Amino acid sequence: MAKRRLTQQQQRRIQGNQQQRIARAKHDEAEQILDSPEQSGLVIANYGKQLVIETADAEHILCRSKQNLGSVVCGDQVIYQTSEEEQRGLIVAILPRRSFLSRPGFAGKIKAIAANIDRIFIVTAAIPELNEGMLDRYLVAAEQNELEAIIVFNKLDLLDEQQRAEIETRLCLYRELGYKVIYTSSKLEHGLEQLLQELEQYTSIMVGQSGVGKSSLIQQLLPATEIRIGEISEATGKGAHTTTTSRLYHLDSGGDLIDSPGVREFGITEISSEELTAAFREFRPVLGHCQFRNCDHLEQSAGCAIVAAISTGDVSKQRYLSYLRIRESLVAD
């Protein structure tokens, strides 16, 4: 018998039937999972649609999350259910978060970074070069989320005496603001005890530009765990984004530490101008002291208490300029 050619209508019907079958199979699978008991777990890695959960028995299982749950991130405590084979899970709820860190993503979207963290370790380094503008933006994010920020300066081994002194002077500004600054070298295993001390008992995250050595530091803290570390591109002096997904590690000395992928830029959004002003902690003592209640704290604003504090040395010009730049970036959004 000659092979019969299907009409377009028949083809469409077959395709439609197939799609229905796939949808039904997916639905059945979800129903089957949803019949199993609810358990709680901790999200320790996020690979986009797939997440890894640490169960109460310290086992790791691969999960996806139920639709409409929103972003589930590293550090989230979740309720999940497993299929009969117990190999895959479905996250059905996120437990209330005590903190949440996010950054602007593409097309005005907010990219969730981590949840339930207490401390944010902002890692900077000799290479890529220390960038105070970026540091200030991370500090704003920390202040906005009421997280304690600690500044780490890594790759100290790459600097000579004079260069070290110069960096110390630059970071002294931040020490005076009350931020702890830790100098490290994962190459020389320098500063690691101090780092560990600050990490104990807390859930922390390491953030910072790609290639500053976040993963290298974590590797030093967890020698028994294999962590991917990247090469700095010789051409650009920039890292090649080695860590592509956030991952939570348990430290032997207590405390959890999340390694996060480096970023080129760290922008600030979703902050009101009042919140931004208060995020510069040295501005707080003079807030409300401007001559006009609706003062916009610009250099030309008459009777601005912040501008006045620059001339008395209570506010550094550099930080003030950083503040203005962030404000401009908010307006441009």
**In the structure encoding, which two tokens stand for residue 259, read together?**
């390694």
Taking the complex as a whole, how short is the minimal distance between the CB of residue 179 and Zn ion, in angstroms? 24
Q: Which amino acid is at 116?
A: N
Does position 241 bind ligand GTP by CB under 6 A?
yes
| DSSP percent split of the chain into helix, strand, coil, nearest 5 | 35, 25, 40
Out of Mg ion, ligand GTP, Zn ion, none, what residue 277 binds, judged by CB under 5 to 8 A for its kind, is none
Taking the complex as a whole, how short is the minimal distance between the CB of residue 221 and ligand GTP, in angstroms? 12
Query: Whole-angstrom Cα distance, residue 251 to residue 325?
Result: 38
Q: Which amino acid is at 3?
A: K
Does position 297 bind Zn ion by CB under 5 A?
yes
Does position 304 bind Zn ion by CB under 5 A?
yes
| Nearest residue to 197 via CA among 137, 147, 253 | 253
Does position 159 bind ligand GTP by CB under 6 A?
no
In sequence order, which ranges of 200-241 are alpha helices (DSSP H)? 214-221
Q: Out of 239, 258, 307, 319, which residue is the one contacting ligand GTP (CB under 6 A)?
A: 239
Out of Zn ion, Mg ion, ligand GTP, none, what residue 295 binds, judged by CB under 5 to 8 A for its kind, is Zn ion
Report whether 151 contacts 120 (CB < 8 A).
no
Report whether 191 contacts 184 (CB < 8 A).
yes
Does position 281 bind ligand GTP by CB under 6 A?
no
DSSP 25: H
CA atoms lying within 13 Å on the CB side of residue 327: 17
* Between 16 and 237, CB nearer to Mg ion: 237
Report whether 99 contacts 43 (CB < 8 A).
no
* Between 65 and 216, CB nearer to ligand GTP: 216
Q: Out of 74, 232, 306, 326, which residue is the one contacting ligand GTP (CB under 6 A)?
A: 232
> Which residue's Cβ lies closest to Mg ion?
243
Does position 212 bind ligand GTP by CB under 6 A?
yes
Report whether 290 contacts 305 (CB < 8 A).
yes
Residues lying near Mg ion in the complex (CB under 5 A): 214-215, 242-243
Does position 286 bind Zn ion by CB under 5 A?
no
| Nearest residue to 152 via CA among 194, 200, 93 | 194
Q: Out of 103, 119, 137, 155, which residue is the one contacting ligand GTP (CB under 6 A)?
A: 155
211: burial class by Cβ within 10 Å (0-12, 13-18, 19+)? buried
Does position 261 bind ligand GTP by CB under 6 A?
yes
As a whole number of Å, the end-to-end CA separation of the chain is: 66
Taking CB under 6 A as the criterion, which residues in 183-202 touch ligand GTP?
185-187
Q: Out of 34, 95, 110, 158, which residue is the one contacting ligand GTP (CB under 6 A)?
A: 158
Taking the complex as a whole, how short is the minimal distance between the CB of residue 122 and ligand GTP, in angstroms? 12
* Between 91 and 195, CB nearer to ligand GTP: 195
Catalog residues that contact ligand GTP under the rule CB under 6 A. 154-155, 157-158, 185-187, 210-216, 229-232, 239, 241-243, 261-262
